[in-house]
Amino acid sequence: MKKVLSGLICHSERQRRISFLRCFTSFSMTVAMATVICVSPCFAKQKISLPDFIFDGKPVDAKAISMGESFSAVCDNASVSYWNPAGLKQLEGKYFTTCINTSHKTDASDDELFAGDSLQGKKLIFIGFANSKSAFSFRPISDYSSVFEVKKIELRANKYTFSSASQYTNKMQLGININYISAHLGVTDLINPTANISDGNGIAVDFGLLYTAYKFVKLGFSIENSPGYIWWTDYKRNIIKSHIRAGLSVKPADWLLMSFDYENIASIKKEFYHGGLQQTLAKHVFFRQGIISEKFFNNSDKKSLTFGGGYELKKWIIDFAAKLYQLENTGKSKVTDYTFSLSMSF
């Protein structure tokens, strides 16, 4: 009888302990979850506000720039990965190219000149290797240092691009860019003196199409950053907005090439219209000119004029371009921007 009673008491004691442990565990989990819910907002990443244009970079290649940046349906040199990756199928051989924004001629101050420029005068703007099937390129897209919304922003960002193209039909080529973006961001609050440095990694995808309507007429279309994102170690991700180009190229004679482009830059909410000409003056010698305008050429203050030339040697291609435009500062300062490209076949 004593053994039975002792067993019942022990069993009852075990039940109480198990019940206590269950209650304690449940209470502990509840407290832990409540703590996480309450504390996590304190450690949530903040949104960082950056200038709209800060990931835009600059147009590349002196040939394209001298033709009024109307190149999405021409895209016939080693800078093709930037303008329209589908144009890779037009290349014959292998190429290396580099593009340098050599200088600016203006009476404006640097602050006025680079107010809307994410590269702020950086010289090297493109390096690329390309053949008819694929390409690899490097392009700085931001070298920015300025005050924005009571914060000192310093951003260095580079884009590394792998490109590929295929012959979809006899008349149509398709292309794609896979971009990796490496960035470093420094932010200093000028009101509450604090500073932070954050690393960023991003990815973006670009698509291109080139269609030969007739032997001398081509249509081009490309969309950059569709989609495009960059993730920061200390801030919420940024969406890199799309950049669309659609163009037409016409070559009615061996000595004449005409091109026209429509451009929509979502980051700055602007549309541009481009036109360009290339004339062959002598064998391997070219002269080019172009125009860029907002609102379909109806505002002279928002027009840019371009001109330049090119010379082809056996293995080398040399191009230069000048772009004349007017700033939107109080003095309406005029600027001449010079670009040089050098390409080599191998």
Mean per-residue pLDDT for 75-91?
96
Answer for the pair 268, 241: CB distance below 8 angstroms, yes or no: no
Prior bond to 227 cis, omega within 30?
yes
Helix, strand, coil % over all residues of the chain, rounded to 5:
20, 55, 30
> Mind listing the pLDDT tens digit for each residue in 208-249?
999 999 989 999 999 999 999 999 999 999 999 999 999 999
Per-residue CA distances from 95 to 69, 129, 222, 265 (Å): 21, 6, 22, 29
For residue 36, name the pLDDT band (cuts at 50, 70, 90).
very low
* Distance separating alpha carbons of residues 234 and 232, to the nearest angstrom: 5
CATH 3.40.50.970 fits 62-345, yes or no: no
Q: Both tokens of residue 15? A: 């039940």
Comparison of pLDDT for 32 and 64, the residue scoring more: 64
Q: How far is CA 123 from the centre of its chain?
A: 17
DSSP calls for 86-120: GGGGG--S-EEEEEEEEEEEESS-HHHHTTT-SST
- Of 267, 224, 270, 239, whose CA–CA distance to 48 is shortest? 239
Please give the backbone phi and psi of residue 326, each rounded to the nearest 5 degrees, phi first: -120, 135
> Mind listing the pLDDT tens digit for each residue in 248-295?
999 999 999 999 999 999 999 999 999 999 999 998 999 999 999 987
> Mind listing the pLDDT tens digit for each residue in 137-192?
999 999 999 999 999 999 999 999 999 999 999 999 999 999 999 999 999 999 98
Comparison of pLDDT for 137 and 46, the residue scoring more: 137
For residue 20, name the pLDDT band (cuts at 50, 70, 90).
very low
Answer for the pair 61, 99: CB distance below 8 angstroms, yes or no: yes
pTM score, whole prediction? 0.86
Q: Give the DSSP H/E element, type plus range, for residue 20.
A: helix 2-43
